[in-house]
Amino acid sequence: MANARDIGVGEGRARFWARMGIYAILVLAALYFLIPLVVMVLTSVKSMADIRTGNLISLPTAITFKPWTEAWGKACIGASCEGVKPYFWNSIKITVPAVTISTLIGAANGYVFSKWRFGGSELLFSLLLVGCFIPFQVILLPMASTLGRLGLSQSIIGLIFVHIVYGLCFTTLFFRNYYVNLPDELIKAARIDGAGFFRIFWRIILPLSAPIFVVSIIWQTTQIWNDFLFGVVFSTGQNQPVTVALNNLVNTSTGVKNYNVDMAAAIIAALPTLVVYLAAGKYFMRGLTAGSVKG
């Protein structure tokens, strides 16, 4: 690591001002990203009176967590007034299976594409990649009609299905690129030792996949939890995920717009992905840059 003191940027005075300039830009950028969060947090603990009389970044006169309990259990979303709690659980019911299944299938796909070349495997992989880059809006109608035919329209299972399918291209890509760096000789040695396709996957490949599992799980969790488009199109009413519910909450107002409740609900909706990044973010970077395995 280069010592900041040793990086010569100009001499004496000029170096000092250059350093100040860099810090100023960094602080401004940080503020730009943080201020919305600060506003949200402050607003969510203020009473409506404080909001009316203060400005966006004024401190509350008294901190109240009433907006939070209301957002969680009492706010009216559309016709029902149960807060975001049921929709929060919907999101969990959607995210956990979708992340797990798309990650596992992605691992198997990546294993096949990287270690067992078969006729047409490169073509198949390219087609899969093309699928990654199709804008999701393009497939809304075909997917809706497919779900209808499968009898899954407007259901949670249908939504899980959609997320699995559209997560597959990313997870396959992650795992394939990771497994390509595992030495082929490992597979050869295992074949000579008598292991077949599944035993090699189970006993050798999977135990070595921890970094990329973390990457895939974090990525998929973020994508699926934060998704709005599929949620709003492929689910309805009580089946909706928390992102859609949030939108409905903000648009449901009987007279007064309760900004503090809205802010609290938004933070509740964002909390899981925030927690995932805080807890496992460094493993994400480590997993992405994990090199080949020695020995």
CB of residue 178 vs other proteins: minimum separation in angstroms? Answer: 14
231's CB contacts (< 8 A; 6+ apart) are 159, 240, 241, 243, 244
283: which 2 tokens? 């493993």
CB of residue 212 vs other proteins: minimum separation in angstroms? Answer: 14
294 touching other proteins, by CB under 8 A: yes
d(CA 7, CA 174): 36
Residue pair 234/141 in contact (Cβ under 8 Å)? The answer is: no
Binding-residue total with other proteins (CB under 8 A): 19
Closest to other proteins by CB, 103 vs 209, is 209
119 touching other proteins, by CB under 8 A: no
Residues between 176 and 215 that touch other proteins (CB under 8 A): 183, 185-186, 188-195, 199, 203-204, 207-208
Closest to other proteins by CB, 175 vs 234, is 175
d(CA 243, CA 41): 18
Closest to other proteins by CB, 142 vs 207, is 207
CB of residue 20 vs other proteins: minimum separation in angstroms? Answer: 46
* b/e per residue 97-111 (b: at least 16 CB within 10 A): bbbebbbbbbbbbbb
Q: What angle do CA 68, 73, 75 make, to 5 degrees?
A: 80
66 touching other proteins, by CB under 8 A: no
Write out the residues near other proteins by the rule CB under 8 A: 183, 185-186, 188-195, 199, 203-204, 207-208, 293-295
